[in-house]
Amino acid sequence: MSWTLRELPVPATLDDEDAWLLHGYVRAANAAALDTWGTHDYDVSPAEVLGSLREQTYERKAVVLAVEDEDGDRPDPARVVGSAWLDLPLQDNTHTGYVELVVVPDRRGRGIGSALHERALHVARSAGRSKLTSSTDHRVEPGPDEPSVAPTTGTGRVPPDAPGVGFAQHRGWALEQVERCSQLQLPLDAAELAAHRKDAQGAAGDAYRVVLWRERCPDEWAPAYAVLNQRMSSAVPLGGLDFQEYRWDVARVRAMEQRFLDQRRTILVACAQHVASGELVAKTELVTVAHDDEIVYQWDTLVLDDHRGHRLGMLVKAANLQRLQEEFPRARRVATWNAEENAHMLAINVALGFRPAGCSGAWQIEL
């Protein structure tokens, strides 16, 4: 069957006449994720996608769909067989962008991915971008003695025979970094988790205390939380990826929080406050989704340079996991990604019980 590329419209609601294309995007993305991971843990919901598309103050989202042709253009989500989602920063890092390519597994090998890739690069060039980044996901990271492709950092590896890897290499993309996907099985033993927090608090002493909030950052902490988010964008290992620090202020924090509400996600934040200065100096975040009670995502964790060495990373993570188990007792897994060269953060995760569950390759291309 032939197919046509068309832009994904942003419907006012999920029940709008043209919302079938958004539902088709979700159906295709989830089919590809299931094929990659063998689980529904990484599914997206229509509400998550619509919430993301609505918030375009800081990033332009351009989504191209591959839709199978049919007389009468019947509004059937099953007709969407592929997509290219582009995130194009509008205020900083305007030289680059991110693209995610998806083709439904049983429609691969028909040129759909190539056409979407070509259109995505055209959109990026037209927006004045000189680089693009992308990613490939893999259920298992190859061992040290297995065939693999290594990034420019030399740390981590991806399987050379994975379809996305060959696709990227053939089109001039360079593998710049590998992230380890890890999962933590819940519930954790309450006594062990309390011991992790107690030991970390003992190392931190009275100089630091934990601050918690859910969904909306209290006004008194919002400027400091914006600073932590800004520092996070440059403090993590980036391998060979070309990114500069993103600017954050309170308005950007509030826009992020509104997006989470629109997406029906809940964000749990734990920070460490330096008592003497009153500043927030560390943070970690857990994000739940409305469509699956069992999976939770561990998002950013950061400790500012001047306050490292006091076990604040473990302190805020343990505190947030305690709160997660109290408020979301049906949660069964926490998934997270860390750069393979980020040995310190990986060590904290391993100590808490996270175990390898695959990997993701970060790719970059010069346009």
- pLDDT averaged over every residue in the chain: 96
98 in Cβ contact with 363 (< 8 Å): no
- What is the C-alpha to C-alpha distance for residues 128 and 248, in angstroms, rounded to an integer? 23
State the pTM of this model: 0.95
84: which DSSP letter?
Answer: E
Q: How far apart are the first and last CA of the chain?
A: 32
Mean pLDDT value across residues 167-178: 97
* pLDDT (0 to 100) of residue 46: 98
Cα 96 to Cα 60: distance, rounded to the nearest angstrom? 12
Contact 31, 105 (CB under 8 A): yes
CB–CB of 48/263 below 8 Å? Answer: yes
pLDDT reported for residue 107: 96
Write down the pLDDT at residue 72: 87
Tell me which amino acid residue 364 is: Q
Assigned token pair, 61:
């989202």
pLDDT of residue 187: 98
68 pLDDT band, cuts 50/70/90, is very high
N residues, the chain: 367
Question: Which overall architecture, per CATH, does domain 187-331 show?
Answer: 3-Layer(aba) Sandwich (3.40)
Across the range 129-136, mean pLDDT stands at: 98
Q: Kindly state the average pLDDT of the residues 164-178.
A: 97
Q: How many CB atoms lie within 10 A of CB 102?
A: 24
Q: How far apart are CA 104 and CA 138, in angstroms?
A: 16
* Residue among 327, 20, 360 at smallest CA distance from 162: 360
Which residue has tokens 């505190």? 319
- What is the pLDDT, as a whole number, of residue 154? 86
Q: What is the pLDDT of residues 260-316, one digit of tens each?
A: 999 999 999 999 999 999 999 999 999 999 999 999 999 999 999 999 999 999 999
The one-character DSSP state at 105 is G
Domain locations in the chain as residue ranges: 3-181, 187-331
pLDDT digits 0-9 by tens, 248-266? 999 999 999 999 999 999 9
pLDDT in tens, 77-117: 999 999 999 999 999 999 999 999 999 999 999 999 999 99
Q: Which residues pair with 356 in a beta bridge?
A: 182
- CATH architecture entry for 3-181: 3-Layer(aba) Sandwich (3.40)
What is the model's pLDDT at position 56? 95
Residue 74, Cβ density class (10 Å: 0-12 exposed, 13-18 middle, ≥19 buried): exposed
pLDDT band at 237 (very low <50, low <70, confident <90, very high): confident
Q: Tens digit of pLDDT for each residue in 207-236?
A: 999 999 999 999 999 999 999 999 998 888
Q: How far is CA 141 from CA 175, 177, 358, in A?
A: 14, 13, 5
